[in-house]
């Protein structure tokens, strides 16, 4: 009887640990799908702007970039709530480690806009 109880406790503990781990994996899948779609929109807008340097194309590119950064910031706010440092899977832990570093999305909206405009102007000048 004691062995049976031990087996039940061990397996239930494994199941609970696995289900907590599944939340992180599901989050990464959702984030990956969303970032793929967002990156596609930004890439198309960038391509349009770089192949036809007009104010209108630059405006669309900057809007797409701003939207992507807003989405990145929203996902980052969700990401930092996970206790990813204690994850047993090194691959998942590595992904969280890389994603927790926020780039230009960490800037205020005004500074992000200014930063994006500077980058856009530099790429139009220097190719």
Classify the C-alpha dihedral 100-116-113-28 as positive or negative.
Answer: negative
User: What percentage of the chain exceeds 70 in pLDDT?
Assistant: 83
Q: What's the predicted TM-score (pTM) here? A: 0.71
Residue that is written with structure tokens 């996970």 in the block: 82
Furthest CA-CA distance within the chain: 77
pLDDT digits (tens, 9 = 90+) for 49-67: 989 989 999 999 999 999 9
Contact 46, 61 (CB under 8 A): yes
Cβ atoms of 104 and 66 closer than 8 Å? no
Write out pLDDT tens, residues 92-124.
Answer: 999 999 999 988 888 898 998 899 989 888 988
């Amino acid at each position: 009887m004691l062995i049976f109880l031990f087996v039940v406790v061990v397996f239930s503990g494994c199941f609970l640990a696995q289900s907590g781990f599944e939340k992180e994996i599901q989050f990464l899948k959702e984030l990956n799908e969303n970032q793929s779609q967002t990156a596609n929109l930004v890439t198309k807008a960038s391509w349009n702007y770089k192949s036809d340097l007009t104010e209108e194309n630059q405006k669309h590119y900057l809007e797409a970039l701003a939207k992507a950064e807003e989405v990145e910031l929203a996902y980052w706010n969700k990401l930092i709530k996970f206790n990813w440092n204690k994850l047993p899977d090194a691959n998942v832990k590595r992904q969280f480690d890389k994603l927790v570093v926020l780039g230009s999305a960490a800037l205020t909206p005004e500074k992000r806009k200014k930063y994006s405009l500077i980058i856009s102007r530099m790429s139009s000048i220097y190719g």
